[in-house]
Amino acid sequence: MRKNVLLIIALFIAALNLRPAINSIAPLLESMRADLGMSAAVASLLTSIPVLCMGLFSPFAVKAGGRFGIERVMGLSLLVIGVGTFLRLFTGSVPFLLLTALIAGIGIAVIGPLSSGFIKQHFPNNVPTMIAVYSVALTLGATLGSGLSTPLERAFHSWKGSLAFWAAAAFLAAIVWQLFVHTQIKPTARMASGKTQTNLPWKSGKAWMLTLSFGCMSMLFYSFTAWLPQIVEGMGYSKAYASTALTLFVAIQIPVSLILSLLLRKFPSRRLWLLVEASFELFGLLLLAFRVEPLVAAAFIGIGAGGLFTLNLLLPIDATSNPHEAASWSAMTQSVGYVIGATGPFLLGWIHDYTNSFTSAVLGMMGIVVLMMIVQFTATSRKLNPLRLAESH
């Protein structure tokens, strides 16, 4: 029991560090652009690069986890995140800042898919609950990254200090991981978790449908993360109000993840909740399109985004039978899915530069939500996707 508590704490603290390096960017974009002279499209790369890393490096994460052990690789990745974030304190040019996004992005990319294997290995009988815990921690980290960026900028009198602040949290997480995880796992268990050959399921139609679902979800999520404040400001609201909208979008995902884990016990159909959460997101976009109260729109979009993220993390674990297979399927969905997701912020930035408006982008995102709903309906088909857990439908 004590071991499980320590592992939960370590996973929670590790997951807290997977979003501040990304979410701390948006509230500071105007200061950074004014200081470094970045265009909107180039600025969007600070969000797109870590997301792209999550796509490109996920397959390597599985190989590293299979060879050296999931736990060891996750601990080292926390140090990589810390280094990439700390280097932002010394930013003197746009290329250097983009390099820090790359370094932090690699660390984030490795932990993502391996977390699924970690949960499958250490909590096989409580997967939905642990996915909820992981999602809450991830979302809380994103909330803190978004909500504290501006106050930290004021406190340090520098956007560089605000960005670099999150290195301390990453280094602390690495220490906790070493103390709480490595000291609790027997040497034989470490050996069993290493040198495992697991290939990604590139030939599985079911895996591809889950990947497309993750990709659409990711594209929407990171588009909101990067540009929601600017969309709201473009509607005539203040910078403070726009920052509040982003914080609400992220913060509301915390209770959504917890509530959804409870609802899944009573109504376990994955398809039902995928479509319900997508509908929330679509309604929020409709409110933005018609310029209705942005805080209400941000709340609906956040409810949808929080539920969709949790469900898309759960589906590959549902479909697999062991920790390394779970990591492999998660790596595939995240590798291609995050590459798709990385295009979202860049496309919105490009559309804004071209039209000087986000109206077309909002309409485009509504179309992506509809496409995502079609993919999710197909991905949870009994014929295509006979999940090993009977309750998943």
Q: Please, which residues have CB within 8 angstroms of residue 386's CB and are 6 or more apart in sequence? A: none
Residue 200's pLDDT is: 84
Number of neighbours of residue 357 by Cβ within 10 angstroms:
12
Q: Which structural domain, as residue segments, surrounds residue 296? A: 2-392
42: tokens are 């180039």
What span, in angstroms and rounded, lies between the C-alpha atoms of 294 and 393?
Answer: 34
With 90 as the cut, is the pLDDT of residue 247 above it?
A: no
Looking at residue 195, what is its pLDDT? 54
Give CA–CA dist 110/108, Å, rounded. Answer: 6
- CATH of residue 168's domain is 1.20.1250.20
The whole-chain average pLDDT of the chain stands at 86
CB 230 within 8 A of CB 354: no
* CB contact burial 207-217 (16+ within 10 A = b; e otherwise): bbbbbbbbbbb
Q: What are phi and psi of 28, to 5 degrees?
A: -105, 5
- Structure confidence at residue 389 (pLDDT): 37
130-157 residue pLDDT tens: 988 998 999 899 889 988 998 999 999 9
CA separation for the pair 46, 42 (Å, rounded): 8
Q: What is the pLDDT of residues 37-71, one digit of tens each?
A: 888 778 878 888 888 888 788 888 888 888 888 89
What single-letter amino acid sits at 285? L
pLDDT tens digit string along 309-342? 999 989 988 888 788 788 888 889 988 888 888 7
CB 315 within 8 Å of CB 274: no
pTM above 0.85, yes or no: no
User: Binning pLDDT at 50, 70 and 90, where does residue 386 land?
Assistant: very low
What is the average per-residue pLDDT within 87-91?
Answer: 95
| Amino acid present at 65 | G
* Pairwise CA distance, residues 118 & 7, whole Å: 10
Angle among Cα 180, 333, 220 to the nearest 5 degrees reads 100
Give the pLDDT confidence score for residue 168 in this predicted structure.
97
Number of domains in the chain: 1
User: What's the pLDDT at 190?
Assistant: 47
Q: What is the pLDDT of residue 275?
A: 96
Q: Average pLDDT in the 233-241 region?
A: 86
Q: Give me the mean pLDDT over the 297-319 stretch.
A: 92
Q: What is the pLDDT of residue 194?
A: 52
